[in-house]
A and B are shown apart, each in its own frame.
Chain A
């Protein structure tokens, strides 16, 4: 069905570089680097201390060589001492959108995220993160009228230190894993979001992450807190220039949902995947976790992963409150030489908790796609329920699709079901579509979209269209 030539990568649309002067941290990773970053951000003392604790823990992990090795991904060892951990446009923090550098505005416009007042996407508030800093946030005032705090992490540290102090690391402690420790030490910015009690956030909140600098990694941190009875839908998008060296993106996302609150978190990940020979691309090593802290709370992750050379990511939910619900919907595409090891963890702690996992993996070219998931029912989680379905589609005979779920049950009243199926697009389906007049390329794209439908349905409308288009562009030349 596919020849190696056909697998030639379609051009990565977001691969341009913004020509802007940036300030970077001195190369290397020592306590001084941490102090330099914290000072740069004029952080309060508690932040520096927290970073330093994380850093010291990180060093013990490096010493014990405890970077994660269990994932089904392969890459040369990373020299952490040689990285650049901070890069930001040189100009001072703009006071308002009007003061934002024209080059930056043009960059985001080119990415399809206009920040200027008259061009903004209706119904979506955007926080734009460029390398290590947030450069603009739209609709801030509209949101603040309802008591919603939405903006950069740095601002939150300055303006709402108590909230940051209370929740930072409460879901993903710096001791959680190797990359969480690294992120906690060096994270530069990110988004912060707080929805007060009883408020239903009227806009989709969105962060767009852009890596621009050539050598710097991006280490952002997102923290979302939904107080009792509140609701928020949050989206993130990301892209990076085409470069022939690998860049590290190690983010941490923490979500906290209190009683009766709901957080819906959607990601369209389109980091640069590397070229057709597997050179370059982003290493996307991300820790995402939500805590259903209150009864009847709900956290739902939706991700469409089409980019990055390597993806290592398991958006998870701790189901602590009784009757709480965790969901994970994922489409992961690997083509070229991309590798993805992604999935979720659902940890059932409270009574009558529910979780649902729908994962769709598509492998083409030389792509290797692994679903890795854990469903754990703790002894006290009476009447827990889980349903998991993870399907894989193979396009071409050089790729791989792997499924490794872990199911751990310590309560007899639990009810769990896991199903997985792997195949290629069936010849019968293709023939049926062609008999109705469609070309084989259209038929493939129709069938693949159908395969992903359950996940795309979870996305807000505009993003579902974007995801469908992205998938089509990514698969161009891979099928037919």
Chain B
């Protein structure tokens, strides 16, 4: 690590010493031990700022995030939350189950669980550790390794609370569980570290949504880590919706473990953020497990969105599909790296991956890197990538039917995005996404 870089990381270590170290007695001893080991690791690994040979961050320069002078690196619980600002994140009215975190702290007053079956646990990390000490201890940090990623180490080190969902075996949760993580900042630029842990028992079924956003348009960094563990035959539909303000940085990673015959579906939707980078890593550990991963990123006005989707086929007869789409406008940049690894034992794997991008402006840039790493022979694996602009012929066709150009463009972009949206089974979420797409198109300068 260079001298300058070390200084950057030093600030976080000092903040840890000031805010986290003294609160060791507030949390179970194991948790604090985990935090201690993570901060040490962070100090060693640091932010991935190297530009040379840094393949994982080839297209995303992390320097603006690392060098940003955030004023509050471990914000305290907010005194007051403006509920009106929350409205734009609410979905599913009075039916969905909802848990809200502000600046990394759970806000019980904004939490409601109207349709949660009694045997299901949704609670804060602190409470979960008391209720299910063994389960949480076993799972927390187990699948989100903090020894390689500085960001994961940082999240683990500053872990004060988080959301825990435990669905026991053979339990079906009909209505979604919505985790909302917000930054309030209260006038100060800050860093928050959301954490989500979901454990799905045998043949359990549920839908969760993680929403990320800010209550004010202040400089901030959200550094999220999620862990999902699916036991045999479990089914989980997990969506992530990122609608930060234009001043926010967002870095996140989700680690998913799939047991035998389990099924995981994930939707990733990025609309906000100055720099947003998300890593979704799925390990198909159980025979017959399946995942479908889809995503839509819409960028404009200097935004930079980077999705890393890493699928690891470990067991035989596993299936994966990735469908990501990007709509890039203004001086924005979209990055996609999709990787499929098929290990030697994972015979009879079926894996597909596609990333398609629509470039709406001359200043937009897209970098896409779909990769296959295959070590088994009885497999069917394929990927595709495409980049292009709106089809002039289609545009003309719509205009010739009397539709003005701006409307025709919007229709075509909606059409392009639909291939992803049609995977979204939750109607309130789909409606919400359609509104975000429309809003995003309205904000763009047209015609170029």
Contact = CB atoms under 8 A, between A and B. Distances in A.
Direct contact of A and B (CB under 8 A): yes
Interface of A: 1, 69-70, 379, 392, 394-424
A397 B344 contact: yes
Interface string B359-386: 1111011111111111111111111111
B389 interface: yes
A414 B359 contact: yes
Interface in B393-434: none
Given A395-B377, A414-B359, A420-B384, A405 B371 contact: yes
A422 B382 contact: yes
Contact of B357 (A1, A392, A398, A409): A409
B384 A412 contact: no
28 contacts: A379-B362, A395-B377, A397-B377, A398-B344, A399-B377, A400-B373, A400-B375, A401-B374, A402-B373, A403-B372, A404-B371, A407-B366, A409-B357, A409-B366, A409-B367, A412-B359, A412-B362, A414-B359, A416-B385, A416-B386, A418-B370, A418-B386, A419-B382, A422-B372, A423-B380, A423-B381, A424-B378, A424-B379
Given A412-B389, A414-B387, A402 B372 contact: yes
Interface residues of B, number: 35
B447 interface: no
A418 B367 CA distance: 13
Contacts of B378: 397, 424
Q: Is the interface of B mostly helix, strand, loop or mixed?
A: strand
Contacts of A1: 377
Contacts of A70: 53, 55
Contacts of A405: 369-371, 385
Contact of A401 (B347, B372, B383): B372
Interface in B323-368: 344, 347, 357, 359-362, 364-368
B388 interface: yes
A347 B276 CA distance: 28
A402 B371 contact: yes
A70 B54 CA distance: 10
Contact of B385 (A392, A407, A414): A407
Nearest to A397: B377
Given A394-B377, A395-B377, A404 B369 contact: yes
Residue of A69, A70, A412 with highest tally of chain B CB at under 10 A? A412
A46 to B, nearest CB: 32
A219 B116 CA distance: 71
B303 to A, nearest CB: 16
Nearest to A386: B387
Interface in B212-258: none
A414 B365 CA distance: 11
B362 A403 contact: no
B384 A408 contact: no
Nearest to B341: A402
A321 to B, nearest CB: 22
A412 B381 contact: no
Nearest to B58: A406
Contacts of B367: 406-409
B377 to A, nearest CB: 4
Contacts of A402: 371-374
Contacts of A409: 357, 359, 365-367, 387
